[in-house]
A and B are shown apart, each in its own frame.
Chain A
Amino acid sequence: MNKNKVTTMAAKKLSLKEKYSLLTRDLDWEFSYQDRKDAFPMEEFEGIKITDWSKWEDPFRLTMDAYWKYQAEKEKKLYAILDAFAQNNGHLNVSDPRYVNAIKLFLTGISPQEYQAHQGFAHIGRQYGGVGARIACQMQSIDELRHVQTQVHAMSQFNKYFDGFQSWSNMQDRVWYLSVPTSFFHDARSAGPFEFLVAIGFSFEYVLTNLLFVPFMSGAAYNGDMATVTFGFSAQSDEARHMTLGLEVIKFLLEQHEDNVPIVQKWIDKWFWRGTRLLTLVGMMMDYMLPNKVMSWKEAWEVYFEEAGGALFKDLARYGITMPKYAALVEKEKEHISHQAWWTFYTHGHATGFHTWIPTDEELDWLSEKYPETFDKYYRPRWEMAKKLEAEGKRFYTKALPQLCTTCQIPMLFTEMDDPTQIAYRDTVYNGDRYHFCSDGCKDIFHDEPEKYVQSWLPVHQILQGNCGGPGVEQVLSDYYHFNVGADNMDMKGSPDEKRWKQWKGVA
């Protein structure tokens, strides 16, 4: 007990807050001969009203010198571990070669989005009238660049030994399923600066990020992939700043003007829906692609959204913000989407840049246990049928090109939630053309900004229009996607990946 201690602050050295304000506010200047509106031309067109930038509370106070010092230290540590991983043939320690397909999906689906995040934050870091927000975005921009670099380096070890890693940067813009994350970021980056920050900083990084990172990082740890675990921790240590920035922007916008409330609500509805659609890929990875499972998608959704997000939206209610529009629907979807997605990839496995497979019997039992309401009833029978066909030597691939949702660009694979045997289709006619959607959520988003989404670059349309080479799918895959056809795609069984693994491990 030391109750008599005097608790006032000792003689003034600069507090972090003061240092940070020297770095930010005091870097700004009054405009004497230019109109501020010309300097920040994007600040108003979204309808957001900012009355007082001085109310922006710097969500973290990191000075530039400390920033470089910390980041350098992180890099040193990370690359020491990656070097050791390479020297010790770390790729041989993964649980099962099927696991590597999860990180093929990460490298081609997620890492390029780190780069888009870098570009997006660099752009908006120029657009705000408030200097605190500008600096925060610039730092995040540099972080995101570091993330993509470390991820590419971490996975380069796998590229030496496994198929499917070689043309990720080319694939991200072109491949049918990779247009899902890519177009998500294109949508955000082509929005105004405030929508971008609500989309990426808040809805994605704050509300949904745990559903992306925790499954991949724990998945890596459970499956013996130290390289991914390490870059994951390294990236997560920057995430604090990103999350607090996402939270600050929400508070700031909601407090600045009441007219901002409905705009922010609309953006939350939109980006929550788009985010959960995107996370379908993660759900499928967790339930089907990890040989050693961490938890089911459904469990992850319950812990990281229903519990943690529930607490957040309870607090946001004080600002007049309500739960995202389709949250109740997503609660039903958690029982279904991972199964529907992996089935789609399995049946289009000739056109995917990673391998697909039928779950083992043990895995089927695990899925039955984790999804008692739905798996045995709707999904297990399909796999039993696929098993039978495979045993007869008739592993099948669906040759038709899937129809894509105009908004999220996911194939029409989701069902009505009240009738999981019925694929959900929505459509609308705009300026004489018909557009198709996977859901009411995606249709709503289109309707709000049709002029934006009619410009969507839909991979299947592009193939059909002859813009992706051809004439056949085979040529699109090899010449346009740069797949090594026959090696990168098709079933895990009989793949070169599998053969090499057996050789390394000395099994027949």
Chain B
Amino acid sequence: MTYEVTIEPTGDVIEVEEGQTILDAALRQGVWLPFACGHGTCATCKCQVVEGDVEIGNASPFALMDMEREEGKILACCAIPESDLVIEADIDVDPDFAGYPVQDYRATVREIRDLSPTIKGIVFDLDGEMAFQAGQYINLQLPGVEGSRAFSLANKPSDNTRMELHVRLVPGGAGTTYLHEQLNVGDTIDASGPYGQFFTRKSDTKDVIFIAGGSGLSSPQAMILEMIEEGDQRQIYLFQGARNVAELYNRELFEELASTHENFHYIPALNAPEPGDDWQGFTGFVHDAANSYFDGRFDGHKAYLCGPPPMIDAAITTLMQGRLFERDIHMERFYTAADGGEESTRSALFKRI
């Protein structure tokens, strides 16, 4: 039995297992909540229950006082849901977060294209308009697949009746195998969205660095297409990482954009080019490409990272060593069930990293 806990004011939704604490579930699912001691004595993780039933757990009477218990306050590090919940946490809503409502859609496959040997581009028509921010993702309910699967939207928000996804085949993965092998043009799928805190910070004025790995080009593509459409004058750098030339998809699209827009710069990086690739560009990991391009200094930029967790991790280290910090680094980690959440103890130093 799992319960669904909605965390306001961001609207993030997490699944909490029977007997699991809200904090544990949130951190494992990449949703940050304030915490420090992790065992009910310091009150850093105090939240307000808006709806639903919770077992308060082992909260110290000084960290959660009687009057607060009566007001429906809980400590997320000890509280265990007993129904679906809505809670309000002391977290900031990003001023650029539009908070578009999550809605259910019927999505009909319009086109399926091989982008690379492992990645398919799938375009759907929606049964209604979807308001979303470039960078956000949707959840798909796939026939015969338990639970939902997350994919980032690769189309720009002005194409609001369509949905373009870049789906990498995960070996042994139920959902991506279905999408790659069984899905046909004309099929209909249930989708819900938009979700997520990964979106363009439009109020920010700094130049922008995108670092994308594999199918993690999806969100950056939507974000860049929108910025260009809106005539954004900032310098925009896209670092795209792939194994080899065959995996480096949508290359023509970005080369074309780079040649027609002076402020857009496209830097692909291959970490294992094939002999026949005749590769003239950067060879190595995508974060190293960024490092060498910027000579190890990133301050004064805004960075968006998207793709597999190890790539994001390496990119964060590179950026921070180049003096760009958490407030200017935004990321979407493409977790799969194989990543299984971090088992190790987590420090409270970073919120999102």
Interface flag for A332 (CB, 8 Å): no
* A9-B9 Cα distance, complex, nearest whole Å: 6
Interface flag for B184 (CB, 8 Å): no
- Across-interface contacts of A3 in B (CB, < 8 A): 102-104, 192
**Residues B61 and A233 in contact, CB atoms below 8 Å apart:** yes
- With known contacts A74-B65, A318-B317, A320-B321, A312–B349 Cβ distance under 8 A: yes
**Residues B36 and A73 in contact, CB atoms below 8 Å apart:** no
**Residues B323 and A258 in contact, CB atoms below 8 Å apart:** yes
- Across-interface contacts of B345 in A (CB, < 8 A): 307-308, 310-311
Binds B, one of A234-242, A355-363, A397-405, A467-475: A234-242
Residue in A8, A244, A251 with the greatest tally of chain B CB atoms within 10 Å: A8
Main secondary structure of the interface of B (DSSP, over half): loop
Interface flag for B255 (CB, 8 Å): no
- With known contacts A77-B61, A236-B60, A5–B349 Cβ distance under 8 A: no
**Residues B62 and A233 in contact, CB atoms below 8 Å apart:** yes
**Residues B346 and A236 in contact, CB atoms below 8 Å apart:** no
Interface flag for A385 (CB, 8 Å): no
* A314-B344 Cα distance, complex, nearest whole Å: 11
Q: Smallest distance from the beta carbon of B181 to chain A beta carbons, Å?
A: 28
Q: Smallest distance from the beta carbon of A300 to chain B beta carbons, Å?
A: 14
Binds A, one of B41-49, B202-210, B235-243, B330-338: B41-49
**Residues A70 and B347 in contact, CB atoms below 8 Å apart:** no
**Residues B104 and A236 in contact, CB atoms below 8 Å apart:** no
**Residues A239 and B42 in contact, CB atoms below 8 Å apart:** yes
Interface flag for A431 (CB, 8 Å): no
- A/B pair count, beta carbons within 8 Å: 118
Main secondary structure of the interface of A (DSSP, over half): helix
- With known contacts A243-B36, A311-B347, A318-B320, A4–B42 Cβ distance under 8 A: no
Q: How large is the interface on B (under 10, 10 to 19, 20 to 34, 35 or more residues)?
A: 35 or more
Q: In B6-37, which residues have CB < 8 Å from any A CB?
A: 6, 8-11, 34, 36-37
Interface flag for B247 (CB, 8 Å): no
* A262-B146 Cα distance, complex, nearest whole Å: 51
Interface flag for B63 (CB, 8 Å): yes
- Across-interface contacts of B65 in A (CB, < 8 A): 70, 73-74, 77
* A6-B44 Cα distance, complex, nearest whole Å: 27
**Residues A17 and B60 in contact, CB atoms below 8 Å apart:** no
Closest A residue to B62 using CB positions: A237
- Across-interface contacts of B104 in A (CB, < 8 A): 3-4
Q: Which 6 pairs across A and B sit closest by C-beta, in order of nearness?
A: A7-B11, A240-B42, A8-B99, A312-B347, A237-B62, A240-B44
- Where the two chains meet, the residues of B that have a C-beta atom closer than 8 Å to any C-beta of A are 4, 6, 8-11, 34, 36-37, 41-44, 60-63, 65-67, 84, 86, 90, 92-93, 99, 101-104, 192, 316-317, 320-321, 323, 325, 344-350, 353
14 contacts between A and B (CB under 8 A): A3-B104, A4-B103, A5-B101, A7-B6, A7-B11, A73-B65, A233-B62, A237-B43, A251-B349, A317-B317, A318-B316, A318-B317, A318-B321, A320-B321
